[in-house]
Amino acid sequence: MEFAVDLLVALVGLGVFSQHVWALRGHFASERMSRGAQVISAGALGSCLLMLVLLWALPQPPAAQFVGIALMAASLWLFWQAVRASKQSRLRFAFDDAPPEALVTFGPYRRIRHPFYASYLIFWTGWAIASWSAWALLPVIVMATLYTIAARHEENLLSRNNTMGPAYTQYRSQAGLFWPKF
C-alpha cells in the first residue's frame, strides 16, 4: 500500500509539474527566458527533485499524502482556469521587461492578480505536505520568495504602463496578490 500511494503522489506531482513546464512554450509569449525566469525554472526543477527524493526516502502518513494530492489537483484546476482566462492575452515569462499587452481581470483573475503563481504555490505546498518532511518546506519558501519577487516586478510594469496603469490601480484594490480578495 505504501508503495502504491508513494507512486500515486509521484505521478500526480510529475504530471502537474509537466503541465507547468508545458506553459513555458505552450502558453507564455516571451521571445526568450529572462535570467529571472531561468532562476525560477531551475528552482522549480530542483524543488521537484528534492520532493521526489523525500517522497521515496522517508515514510509519510497516508492522510498527509492524500491531502497533498488533493492540493496538487486543486492547483492544477486553478492553473488551467488561468490558462483559459489568459490565452488571448499574450502573457510573458516572469521578469520579462517588455510592456504587458493586456490586463486580464476575469476568470480567476477576477479575485487573484497572479493565479499562475497562486497555483504553483498551492502545488508546492501540496507536495510538501505529501512528502511530510521539514525539508520539504525549503522549496515552498524558496519558490514563494521567487514568485513574490516576480509578481512585484510584473505589478511595477503594469503600474507604470501609461494605458493600463490607472485600470491596474483600480484592479489591485479588488483582487488579492496570490489569495482571493472578496
Task: Give the model confidence (pLDDT) of 124-170 as tens digits.
Answer: 999 999 999 999 999 999 999 999 999 999 999 998 888 888 899 99
Q: How many CB atoms lie within 10 A of CB 42?
A: 11
Residue-wise pLDDT for 78-95, tens only, equals 999 999 999 999 899 999
DSSP three-state, residue 105: coil
Phi/psi region, residue 161 (left: phi>0; alpha: psi -120 to 50; beta: rest), is: beta
pLDDT at res. 128: 98
pLDDT at res. 5: 96
pLDDT at res. 1: 77
How open is the CA angle 158-164-165, to the nearest 5 degrees?
A: 60
Mean pLDDT score of the chain? 95
CB 89 within 8 A of CB 102: yes
- Structure confidence at residue 99 as a pLDDT band (50, 70, 90): confident
Selected residue with higher pLDDT from 10 and 161: 10
Q: Bridge-partner residues for 112, per DSSP? A: 176
**Domains contained in the chain, CATH given:** 2-172 (1.20.120.1630)
Distance CA 163, CA 64 (A): 47
Take residue 117 and report the three cell numbers written for it.
Answer: 503563481
